[in-house]
Amino acid sequence: MCKSLVLQPVAVRGSGGRTVADAVHQWLRETSWLHLLDHREDWSTEEAISGFIALFGSRGLPLANPALSGDQVLHAVAMTAPPGAQLRVLGSCNIKGTGLEFVYRWLSIHKVLGWAEALPNANADPCRDIVRAMSAHPNYGVADTRVAVAALETQLADGRLQAWGLEEEASRTVARLRSLLPEMERGLEAAVQLTVPQQARRWLRAAVDFWDSIARTREAEALYVDLGARRVGQEGAAKVAKAIVYRQKV
């Protein structure tokens, strides 16, 4: 099943917030050469290639801070477009660090979107399972928290959860997630680029990281063995692997 999500920027103005007019003006600046080429007969292939390379470069979004969370990466992407726009990421690099966090966020978003889509049509037992899964989900971020809150509030307003004795649990989950959301949203504004203290810590870390890298390798190998032997589940292994990678990042 294909699922989609519109990433709404938290701020319309300020730190990166843009309007539709801003986006249109930028697009005109970046693509005006295409209009000129279309009205010229003396353009060269090299000129067109250079233009497309420059356009591609202007659309790239480098994230130099390796300590960014998955939510902060998604926010940085969302803030490149005006509010309400749908964005398509044509490619992303870095399987570790911020790239791994990016993957974790989308896995969680995909899972919560699935629950939200199934909830309105679920009968009593499946509905109970979904509500409890939403309540126990350990890896919420900004986008999936908003989806879960909206889905549960809609079902509470319709009275379906009350009929099956799920009102109290759903209400507690909504209240808890709503209380967490402001702090999550404040955390989105962290610096995309490395600050001076972070640069100093990165240099120091690189100087002393050798021994911990050996320990991380051994821990990762032991984790894969335990996973293969089914001594640890997939979610548990993901948490441990995330902690190991985080030590390399910071």
Query: In a 3-state reduction of DSSP, which class is residue 88?
Result: coil
Whether 75 and 124 share a structural domain: yes
Whether 151 and 223 share a structural domain: no
Whether 140 and 237 share a structural domain: no
Q: Output the six-digit token pair for 97.
A: 């660090």
Question: Residue 14 — pLDDT band, cuts 50, 70, 90?
Answer: very low
Average pLDDT, the chain: 80
Q: Does residue 28 belong to any structural domain of this protein? A: no
Residue for token digits 């998955």?
70
Whether 64 and 148 share a structural domain: yes
pTM: 0.65
Q: Output the six-digit token pair for 133.
A: 């899964």
Closest CA to 74 of 146, 25, 123, 131: 146
Closest CA to 187 of 15, 18, 6: 15
- Domain that includes residue 243, residue range: 196-249
Q: Does residue 34 belong to any structural domain of this protein? A: no
| Angle in degrees, CA 157, 160, 161, rounded to 5 | 90
Whether 110 and 154 share a structural domain: yes
Q: Which residue has the higher pLDDT, 8 or 160?
A: 160
Query: In a 3-state reduction of DSSP, which class is residue 66?
Result: coil
Whether 139 and 201 share a structural domain: no
Mean local confidence (pLDDT), 214-236: 86
Q: Per-residue pLDDT for 17 more than 60?
A: no
Domains contained in the chain, number: 2
Q: Output the six-digit token pair for 248.
A: 């390399």
Whether 88 and 176 share a structural domain: yes
